[in-house]
Structure 1
Amino acid sequence: MRLWPEHPPSFRNSMERFSSETTKVVQYLLKFLAMDMGVDPDSLLEIFRGEPQNMRANYYPPCRQAGKVLGLSPHCDASGLTLVLQVNNVQGLQIRKDGQWLAVDALDGALLANVGDVLEVLSNGRYRSIEHRTVVNPEKERISAAVFHLACPDATIGPLPELVKDGGKAAYKSMAFEDFLKLFFSTKLDGRATVEGLRI
């Protein structure tokens, strides 16, 4: 938090509190997801030990030629879960479903939870990482805040052992999270390229 600006005076404290509260939300969500998968919640939470996270505030200015530009190219997140807060009521987030781009209309003040590549691999494909993009508005600015909840630096990313025991097949390769991040950044926001590249 020491890297966040000190002005306005309330900014750093607000960001620290937001960060702390989103961590609590993700811990609850991961526990529920683990129970749904039939795995020990502690084994899933251990992969996110220390609660590493990145936060990004996004500002998309209005653009009169909005149909010719993107705010953010199609991609999936390298996180386990990403929580997004749409700060103002200007729609811009889209997800790809069945080859079509669909607008996501966020509820005022609600957090949107995106499954990331890490959770897809850990769940052995039960939960799919969502490919998404951002479009701009021709008349209004759009502001959002995204918090990416990452695996701990020394974690191994692969299907959870409980999901591939008793003859179950791993659908994804396993690798060190550090190597996973290198692979993710080498794909340069190219849709589902990272997670598809890990399929066996």
Structure 2
Amino acid sequence: MGDQDSIGIRTNIPVIDMQKFPDSGEYEKLKEACEEWGCFRIVNHKIPLTLMSEMKTVVRSLLDLPMEIKNRNTDVIAGSGYMAPTAVNPLYEGLGLYDLGSPLAVRNFCAQLDASPHQNEIIGTYAKAVNDLAIDIGRKLTESVGLFLDLFKDWPCQFRINKYNFTPESVGSSGVQIHTDSGFLTILQDDENVGGLEVMDKYSGQFVPVDPWPGTLLVNLGDLATVWSNGRFCNVKHRVQCKEASIRVSIASFLLGPKGGAIEAPQEFVDSEHPRLYVPVTYEDYRKTRLSTKLQAGEALERIRTPCNS
């Protein structure tokens, strides 16, 4: 699935049309995208383009705030608050909001950053829209493999607003290291003008550029989607490369995992030919494993292998 060049290397990620559901063909495309790529672009989603544009304007203004204000954006869980540039990712900084579905959490985030009433309204409206979309995509994903489960209703969703301070000296370098996402799935509103996102083709090991396509959203599957699917779904490796000397801004929303509960493969994915690959794990414990081991590109999954598969 996806276009190929003349020597057979896949060059474009799949595109899923949200308006075509419940067409069985679109479910099949979604399942194949999850298995073969671990990512896909969605078109004809329900988030208004005006809201996406307004949110991007708000995000840029928040990321331009003085450092002393951005530092008020403290962690709720590990890594959920403000991240300043580091030695590993010197060109990157980001603000975070844990639990998009909680109006209280949204208000607290806005209060930390002295957001105006208009900014409060935009952030709150966007948070609800993306949280609802993440749950809808998760539901369609389970339906694509023949399971009709209301899994995601109470799962927390976190967003991170990202800024890459690309300069002429940084062209050709990495904006953020190769990694997988630790949660179940991620919805990304990418920079509509500045490219740099690349995903790894799991077959060739080569990186495929994901160029800007205004008005669309990107979905990546993370490590816990691999756990839940018993290895069937791909946790896509990705990175951001500096292609031009320009500020690059994106908004990533992460559907994490059941709050305080463990995630594991349903019995439908486990049989004598497909033994259970991973022990049940909570998002919080798995995230701690990733942080303590500094294994950021899916390797931490080896730490939760079942004894017979380790």
Contact 1:76/1:116, CA 8 A, preserved across alignment: yes
Task: Provide the secondary structure at the position in 2 that maps to 1:108.
Answer: coil
Percent identity of equivalent pairs: 28
Task: Provide the secondary structure at the position in 2 that maps to 1:38.
Answer: coil
Residue 132 (1) aligns with residue 238 (2):
yes
Report the equivalent of 1:63.
167
Deviations 1:97-128 (A, max 9, x none): 12212211132021110101111110112211
Report the equivalent of 1:179.
285
Report the equivalent of 1:91.
195
Report the equivalent of 2:157.
53
Residues 167, 62 of structure 1: alpha-carbon distance in 2 compared, 3 angstrom cutoff: closer
Structure 2: stretches of 5+ with no match in the other structure: 1-105
Residues 40, 166 of structure 1: alpha-carbon distance in 2 compared, 3 angstrom cutoff: farther
Q: Which amino acid aligns with 1:103?
A: P
1:36: how far off? Answer: 1.7
Report the equivalent of 1:17.
125
Give the number of the structure with larger relative contact order, counting CA–CA contacts within 8 Å between residues 6 or more apart: 1
1:55: how far off? Answer: 1.0
CA distance in 2, matches of 1:102, 1:56: 23
Task: Provide the secondary structure at the position in 2 that maps to 1:144.
Answer: strand
Root-mean-square deviation (Å): 2.1
1:196: how far off? Answer: 4.1
Residue 32 (1) aligns with residue 140 (2):
yes
Q: Which amino acid aligns with 1:144?
A: S
Contact 1:37/1:123, CA 8 A, preserved across alignment: no
Contact 2:179/2:238, CA 8 A, preserved across alignment: yes
CA distance in 2, matches of 1:135, 1:12: 32
Contact 1:74/1:191, CA 8 A, preserved across alignment: yes
Contact 1:80/1:118, CA 8 A, preserved across alignment: yes
CA distance in 2, matches of 1:90, 1:179: 35
Contact 1:157/1:176, CA 8 A, preserved across alignment: yes
Residue 111 (1) aligns with residue 217 (2):
yes
1:168: how far off? Answer: 4.2
CA distance in 2, matches of 1:26, 1:54: 11
CA distance in 1, matches of 2:274, 2:172: 46
Residue 148 (1) aligns with residue 231 (2):
no
Report the equivalent of 2:66.
none
Task: Provide the secondary structure at the position in 1 that maps to 2:168.
Answer: coil
Alignment match of 1:121 (pick from 223, 227, 250): 227
**Which piece of structure 1 moves more, 137-146 or 171-180?**
171-180
CA distance in 1, matches of 2:221, 2:166: 28
Task: Provide the secondary structure at the position in 2 that maps to 1:40.
Answer: coil
Number of matched residues?
Answer: 196
Task: Provide the secondary structure at the position in 2 that maps to 1:18.
Answer: helix
CA distance in 2, matches of 1:81, 1:89: 24
Higher gyration radius (CA): 2
TM-score relative to the length of structure 1: 0.87
Task: Provide the secondary structure at the position in 2 that maps to 1:3.
Answer: helix
Report the equivalent of 2:208.
102
